[in-house]
Amino acid sequence: MDIQRCSESAIQVRNLTLKYGTRLIQQDLNFDVDAGDIFVIMGGSGCGKSTLLKHMIGLYKPAEGEILYGGQNFFSSSEAEQQKMRRSWGVTYQSGALFSAMTLAENVALPLQQFSNLSVAEIRDIVSYKLALVGLAGYEDYYPARISGGMQKRAGLARAIAMDPDILFFDEPSAGLDPLSAQRLDELILQLRDSTGATVVIVTHELASIFAIGSNGVFLDAETRTQLDTGSPEQMLNHSRHAKVRSFLARGEMSTTHNTLSGREARS
């Protein structure tokens, strides 16, 4: 089933409460991720951004509420149905999460070997294509230790898109990257969204990235332990009724403007 395209909203979060044991992380979360969105989960440190993402990919079960994919509640579905949904997703992690004893080609080939009936030759062709998409053509036989951190993240992205997922999840993709590498990764995410039609959900604290690629999002607050606002970064910056949201995003806008001006000065 093509989960992304079976309804206008690729993902619906309804009355969601997240807890670790008795410790409340977030409560009363309600938002939609529309098909084709680059949806940003944002907020200050310790607000539960990565925890929300882990619930959305089924690693943790919520204390209350629902997460629906194409109208289907993930956590009330059978194990077989959950696995079917997961195969429509691609997930990348902060470190890239590559297997160090495997080449890049072997890393990217792994999901294809596990979840498809493709031949060895077909998998080899797909792996080369996916690595080329992320700018790693010719690096098939390299091991992760031989490439930079930014290249490792791109290789992790190639593995995430190996199965042509409908939804891509990113957890702090720019963490540990220099500003130029982070900008290139943002551009790559936009290109992949536009070329594949995938819906993207991204956790990031990088304010420049939020404005560069975010089309929609939710702002989580650590103090009240709930969402303060939803919408595009620009809408929240200009129209949020919460000063905390406007202040958070205003720093991002100023940083983005400063970086743009600095780049122009450097080129002049």
pLDDT band at 182 (very low <50, low <70, confident <90, very high): confident
- pLDDT of 95 > 70? The answer is no
* pLDDT exceeds 80 at position 89: yes
Q: Which of 224, 220, 202 is nearest to 211 (CA)?
A: 202
**What would the pLDDT profile of 41-52 be if each residue is shown by its tens digit?**
999 989 999 999
Q: How confident is the model at residue 261 (pLDDT cuts 50, 70, 90)?
A: very low
262 pLDDT tier (thresholds 50, 70, 90): very low
- Any idea where the domains of the chain sit in the sequence? 4-88+168-176+201-267
For residue 2, what pLDDT is reported?
A: 38
Least reliable range by pLDDT among 76-80, 120-124, 188-192, 232-236: 188-192
pLDDT at 27 over 90: yes
Rounded mean pLDDT of the chain?
89
Q: Is 90 a residue whose pLDDT tops 60? A: yes
pLDDT of residue 149: 87
Query: Do 149 and 177 form a contact (C-beta atoms < 8 A)?
Result: yes
* Per-residue pLDDT, 205: 84
Q: Which CATH superfamily is domain 4-88+168-176+201-267 in?
A: P-loop containing nucleotide triphosphate hydrolases (3.40.50.300)
Q: Residue 195 pLDDT > 90, yes or no? A: no
